[in-house]
Amino acid sequence: MKTALGLCCATAVASSFLTFVLARADSLPARIRLENARVKVSEVTYPAGVPRDRFTRPTDEVIVFLDDCKYRRTDSNTGEKTVRERKSGEVLWHNKGEDAPVLENLGTKPYRTLVIELK
pLDDT value, residue 18: 37
What is this structure's pTM? 0.77
Beta-bridge mates of residue 63: 92, 115
Residue 54: CATH number of its domain:
2.60.120.10
Q: What is the DSSP letter of 25?
A: T
The three-state secondary structure class of 90 is coil
Span 32-88, pLDDT tens digits: 999 999 999 999 999 999 999 999 999 999 999 999 999 999 999 999 999 999 999
Q: What is the extent of the structural domain holding 52?
A: 2-118
Whole-Å CA distances, 81 to 19, 31, 65, 75, 84: 32, 28, 21, 6, 10
Quote the percentage of the chain above a pLDDT of 70.
Answer: 77
Q: How many domains are there within the chain?
A: 1
Res 26: pLDDT: 55
Average pLDDT, the chain: 85
